Structure 1
């Protein structure tokens, strides 16, 4: 915008809308005439020029790192006695949000104390810590623990959790219906085996600071988009007291105690952060729940001032960016004198000054690290304020604040329509069917509902329709899925003593599923669903003729060969590690257990139906159950390794040994043993085990290829063993022991097949933001497999089978 004017941003955006523009650099080059390398050079030179002005004639302070592992390390705080340093970090994690509390004793390696911690502070004696981390909240419906009290002695707080939990319309009760996870405060000792004690409940609490008297803790809370300061008394859990009542939208950060009654903090109302102070003994104003103490502004300028640390009631250490780079400053609040303690290139934040040693969070090219400066290394000088002169003036005159508030109502989002092109390849007939169509979707602004569907049709009248409706306004998420598919083909029909005529045949499938899903804290997922479906065949009119006989016209035939209904339960225990590579190369564990009770009618013949008095389909009812168990376990070869060795186990048991083979499970192809065809292995029992060693070949490439940007390449070495078989017809399932005996007996008598394969996975993005997962694989089956039908015998195994797929993510 500085070089070409602000209008170029609109032109680039318009250019990105063009179907011939595949990536951002192509749009930029078209509008500026510069290649991406030239554009990057200009951007780099502008940064070097800006930093050159900031650092001109100044010495950069030396860097002494305490903690460099991880992309984010923050909130360094010394315990009493200066022997233990605590900080929040994410060493070994892929995301900055996956933080933990670490303690560092002297020169020893930091040790993780509390996973998931997002903020903390020391008790005055240095023996305990108060921690902020997420916790599943019951909404107050569960009786409060015995350690909670109803009244805090000597305080105006009158908090009765017993009454609160019975309020029909209380906010806590509403949150209980959503399974929300809130940040709350917990106290624990620094001993690794100590137990946490929860002291706030459903508060959305962060940034705690323990008072020097030890009897109270201040923290930042969030309600309706606005932060405020609150107190909690550690000896009386759930005894909270509101301190401030800021105007809507105010954000508050980093409270610290000056003494036992004054608190400094940084906050932002509309532009940059400023620093304020509050006296907790000051008289409250307002009425009812809005009674609060009005804070005073301590530092308020056009630039950003944050992370205050009061050395005493007159000396304040904090961070600001009036030079264009955040650095640590020390200000005498009485005289106004200020000196810079640091002069860094990236940014210095969250200072703590103890005994003339400064510890802070340093931002550089590697992320946020914990660094330290001795008193003799302080910059102790002023820095240029040239950057602050270029800051724009705040002007909100075009914004109105006179909008009336009203209860939230469902806001229906717009309907989006996307083109769709599906290509079906019929290898048996050497045909390719192209089916153009579209997707449509719409969701509510707060994601309370989702409506999604699609349709496509081919020139041969093949048809695909689907509709998904989902509602998230209740504790269980309710969804309805409806599918209809039609396939047209030309087949030869077999007539006794007649030549086989060819005719058009249409297969139609219609299915609907109603499902309720609920997440049970923390890693449990439960689905209950009911499914009904109809499979139909229509044989077109045709003519049969034997030699020179008169041709016979055979009318069309339309019949349902399957009609059924079933219900099922699906339980998932999710424990996959949250890593950047969790899609392409997952680690951790996951268990899926599915049970279905099926009432399926399968056509066995045509004949006279006594129930209707007509000629039609004769059905056999198959009432059977099905149990599926899947378990995945993957482990990284070392703490920092990207290579994962994993074992995936799948088992299916259908305890109905007289079942028609139409309902058998299959154990070949992509879902099973990939060295054998999908229909080559079938039965009422299935067991497949897959061992994989997968490791990166190339990472973080970001190589554009037309509309696709290649990011990671992984190679997997895979070995499989498995089988599918028909259960013993004499098996008994009257007890658990009989069931176990039958399963193990079948395992001993089944034929086990083995294969080995290589998988190449490519992960990237298409069209700026759509994740695109591409996989190529080849598998060799070691064991021969013979499949005999009424006409011939097919031989499989001892050859290579190839697969490829393109999806939004890896399975």
Structure 2
């Protein structure tokens, strides 16, 4: 019979996140003793500092876990989006670092690279230490495929309608332990430390009887501050284990979890320290309760009770008075689930009500002089032509209720209106470093007015009208200091600089300086008379007080952390607290006197053009129950290190020699992803029939072959457009034998179409 080929060209849209390949990037690479560093022009400074950090912390991590990666670990430095994060792919033995430093209201401020690289490499080593079957076998699968009942005799089986897939992971480490060990890092490491923000979240949960249970600590997927609480609780519990039983117990727990049949962290803990995980948790919980009850005893005697005006949502941040003192602009996640999903709200003091006016706003709102325009930062709705989504500066006209974009791909955030010359200052990030920029609102021309090159973290820009200077928070190692930039003579200096505690969120108005200070172990608002430079605390809270702003009537609005959320609060009349009544202790800051100096050196090794490099070929065995037969097989996959090429496939066979084969190839060197897919399936069937007086043995074989080839285009960051061609052949083979007559048999083959 003539073979029939089916060849078609198709197009369809997939409504899922569209990822961009960034072919515009010219990748470079260099090697150190233990790492391969990959970067491009916009991340070279970050990469070279990061390489120095990685080599410095390397021996401490491998000594704690008594494990060294089999090959050099790849570290990839990205800056294609305004993302602040790191990711450890422990089976691939690679780390991805986004260059932008983290500025997050649920964590304290720490120098970025020394923190994130140590954290991610601790993930690499600790997770590889816990693997049950080594680097090549990430897991296995037991699967079952069910079908509709088929009534036609000429159809093998019905349409598949049920799929059960049970993964047997090659690594079983609960989130609290994985993140806790990464934040613990190693003995005496303080690149990340138990700062006041972390303590605030856990203290608040403890005193409100709202601690995550041992079971809840084992999962992510929570809203509000839930996910961060998993990080926090894990960090504190791992510190508790290290201090109470020795840091080597963290290693022993991971070793026990690497046993092929050990899937219970409860039992792994018991084998390591002699008590179950549940018993350990109760010890830890008791320690927290006793410790915080003692530390907060003084606060409870003299606590301040603010006037809460906004309490819906978990992130009500950066309140800012309008010039007439009758409205408050702030950002809030009141209409959303997750902490970072904030919108711009305006609270009307006369109506006692806040209203959302713009979506997806992320930074401090800043009013113009007459209170008709608010400036803020947000990401554009659609990515630029390369696929990047950066922060930009926008303005919202309250009267017209219209939004206008002021910058394009500026990476600008924390805008600050300057009334004297109708200009706007903002912060922007490049290669992990942050600087201050000035935009003339009339000409729309922008100039860079600082040139910090040491990757210090800058945040919370504000304007001191009385002294014609820009105020901002600055982090060079740990915590924030309050600095200024004079617009008269460009002098940069510190208003407050202390290495041992955090001072942030300054507001200067009506001769008063108000800021948030944590020297007592709790963030509270501190007010100083600018003329006498004398002052004191104006809050004494159990949670934390941040982001103050005072209006012309002496009212102070601020963000108040309490019972798991940031709320907007107002102080109508300012009263001072004796510093001995505030926080844990007036000398609590002394616990920070021995912090390690920052790492800001660079490795200047010669670099070269990056050439494709691949991870291991990963194998995942599978057992499948399919149409009442047992199939054995495997999945396999491998990725190019910077994800420029991916392969994925699988194979399975049963006792009837039915084959299921597939192979998927993705090539990402160009703007569209080039992909090819191959599928090959066979089914074998034997039937015994009667024809007249003859006994027949029929052997049937069906073969499906399909090739797909196409291009996948990202669609404005919202989905993907696929253009592809597909070739199919569905062929049947029949071989019939007459059992009663020796040597009498015949066969044929034909195609379905």
On whether the aligned pair clears a TM of 0.5, the verdict is yes
**Alignment partner, residue 669 of structure 1:** none
The correspondence for 2:499, drawn from 274, 283, 301, is 301
Question: Partners in 2 of 1:13 and 1:185 — Cα distance?
Answer: 47
**Alignment partner, residue 486 of structure 2:** 279
**Alignment partner, residue 360 of structure 1:** 558
Question: Partners in 2 of 1:398 and 1:271 — Cα distance?
Answer: 12
The correspondence for 2:624, drawn from 420, 423, 430, is 423
Question: Partners in 1 of 2:645 and 2:731 — Cα distance?
Answer: 32
**Alignment partner, residue 133 of structure 1:** 378
The reply to whether residue 177 of structure 1 matches residue 420 of structure 2 is: no
**Alignment partner, residue 725 of structure 2:** 530
Partner secondary structure for residue 541 of structure 2: coil
Kept in 2, the 8 Å contact 1:21–1:27? The answer is yes
The correspondence for 1:433, drawn from 630, 639, 642, is 630
Kept in 2, the 8 Å contact 1:441–1:453? The answer is no
User: Deviation per CA, 1:1-55, whole angstroms, max 9, x where unpaired?
Assistant: 1111111222222333333333544433442333444333333333333333432
Return closer, same or farther for 1:500/1:421 CA change in 2, 3 Å cut-off: same
The reply to whether residue 227 of structure 1 matches residue 434 of structure 2 is: yes
Partner secondary structure for residue 260 of structure 2: coil
The reply to whether residue 218 of structure 1 matches residue 425 of structure 2 is: yes
The reply to whether residue 475 of structure 1 matches residue 676 of structure 2 is: no
| Greater displacement, 244-253 / 195-204 | 244-253
Kept in 1, the 8 Å contact 2:702–2:732? The answer is yes
**Alignment partner, residue 681 of structure 2:** 485
User: Deviation per CA, 1:586-636, whole angstroms, max 9, x where unpaired?
Assistant: xxxxxxxxxxxxxxxx3xxxxxxxxxxxxxxxxxxxxxxxxxxxxxxxxxx
The reply to whether residue 49 of structure 1 matches residue 290 of structure 2 is: yes
TM-score by length of 1: 0.57
Kept in 2, the 8 Å contact 1:185–1:205? The answer is yes
**Alignment partner, residue 43 of structure 2:** none
Superposition RMSD in Å: 3.0
The reply to whether residue 561 of structure 1 matches residue 734 of structure 2 is: no
The reply to whether residue 499 of structure 1 matches residue 695 of structure 2 is: yes
User: Deviation per CA, 1:146-181, whole angstroms, max 9, x where unpaired?
Assistant: xxxxxxxxxxxxxxxxxxxxxxxxxxxxxx232x22
The correspondence for 2:358, drawn from 108, 114, 120, is 114
Question: Partners in 2 of 1:491 and 1:277 — Cα distance?
Answer: 88
The correspondence for 1:253, drawn from 439, 449, 459, is 459
The reply to whether residue 64 of structure 1 matches residue 307 of structure 2 is: yes
The reply to whether residue 374 of structure 1 matches residue 572 of structure 2 is: yes
Shift of 1:265: 0.6
Kept in 1, the 8 Å contact 2:454–2:600? The answer is no
Question: Partners in 2 of 1:128 and 1:393 — Cα distance?
Answer: 46
Question: Partners in 2 of 1:82 and 1:297 — Cα distance?
Answer: 26
Question: Partners in 2 of 1:324 and 1:413 — Cα distance?
Answer: 48
**Alignment partner, residue 331 of structure 2:** 88
Return closer, same or farther for 1:358/1:560 CA change in 2, 3 Å cut-off: farther
Return closer, same or farther for 1:322/1:189 CA change in 2, 3 Å cut-off: same
Kept in 1, the 8 Å contact 2:434–2:457? The answer is yes
**Alignment partner, residue 254 of structure 2:** 13
User: Deviation per CA, 1:551-602, whole angstroms, max 9, x where unpaired?
Assistant: 2343665x4625xxxxxxxxxxxxxxxxxxxxxxxxxxxxxxxxxxxxxxx3
Kept in 2, the 8 Å contact 1:129–1:189? The answer is yes
Gaps spanning 5+ residues in structure 1: where?
140-175, 284-292, 563-601, 603-811
TM-score by length of 2: 0.61
**Alignment partner, residue 751 of structure 1:** none
Gaps spanning 5+ residues in structure 2: where?
1-241
Question: Partners in 1 of 2:648 and 2:474 — Cα distance?
Answer: 42
Kept in 2, the 8 Å contact 1:244–1:294? The answer is no
**Alignment partner, residue 705 of structure 2:** 510
Shift of 1:299: 1.9
Q: Which has the larger radius of gyration?
A: 1
**Alignment partner, residue 464 of structure 1:** 660
Kept in 2, the 8 Å contact 1:486–1:508? The answer is yes
**Alignment partner, residue 634 of structure 1:** none
Question: Partners in 1 of 2:453 and 2:658 — Cα distance?
Answer: 60
The reply to whether residue 340 of structure 1 matches residue 537 of structure 2 is: yes
The reply to whether residue 99 of structure 1 matches residue 342 of structure 2 is: yes
State how many pairs are aligned: 503
Partner secondary structure for residue 246 of structure 2: coil
Kept in 1, the 8 Å contact 2:637–2:646? The answer is no
Question: Partners in 2 of 1:365 and 1:407 — Cα distance?
Answer: 53
Higher strand share: 1
Question: Partners in 1 of 2:609 and 2:432 — Cα distance?
Answer: 14
**Alignment partner, residue 551 of structure 1:** 742
Kept in 2, the 8 Å contact 1:230–1:240? The answer is yes
The reply to whether residue 186 of structure 1 matches residue 394 of structure 2 is: yes
Question: Partners in 2 of 1:418 and 1:242 — Cα distance?
Answer: 51
Question: Partners in 2 of 1:296 and 1:398 — Cα distance?
Answer: 22
Shift of 1:335: 6.3
Question: Partners in 1 of 2:612 and 2:479 — Cα distance?
Answer: 32
Partner secondary structure for residue 403 of structure 1: coil
Shift of 1:230: 0.9
Question: Partners in 2 of 1:484 and 1:43 — Cα distance?
Answer: 56
Kept in 1, the 8 Å contact 2:657–2:684? The answer is yes
Kept in 2, the 8 Å contact 1:318–1:350? The answer is yes
**Alignment partner, residue 770 of structure 1:** none
The reply to whether residue 323 of structure 1 matches residue 520 of structure 2 is: yes
Higher helix share: 2
Kept in 2, the 8 Å contact 1:103–1:110? The answer is yes
Shift of 1:203: 0.9
Kept in 2, the 8 Å contact 1:453–1:468? The answer is yes
Return closer, same or farther for 1:54/1:224 CA change in 2, 3 Å cut-off: same
Q: How does 1:543-692 map to 2 (within 5 A)?
A: 543-546=737-740, 550-554=741-745, 559=749, 561-562=751-752, 602=753
Question: Partners in 1 of 2:370 and 2:606 — Cα distance?
Answer: 47
Shift of 1:204: 1.4
Question: Partners in 2 of 1:480 and 1:452 — Cα distance?
Answer: 11
Kept in 1, the 8 Å contact 2:309–2:352? The answer is no
Question: Partners in 2 of 1:12 and 1:500 — Cα distance?
Answer: 64
Return closer, same or farther for 1:304/1:114 CA change in 2, 3 Å cut-off: same
Kept in 1, the 8 Å contact 2:481–2:494? The answer is no
Q: How does 1:733-748 map to 2 (within 5 A)?
A: none
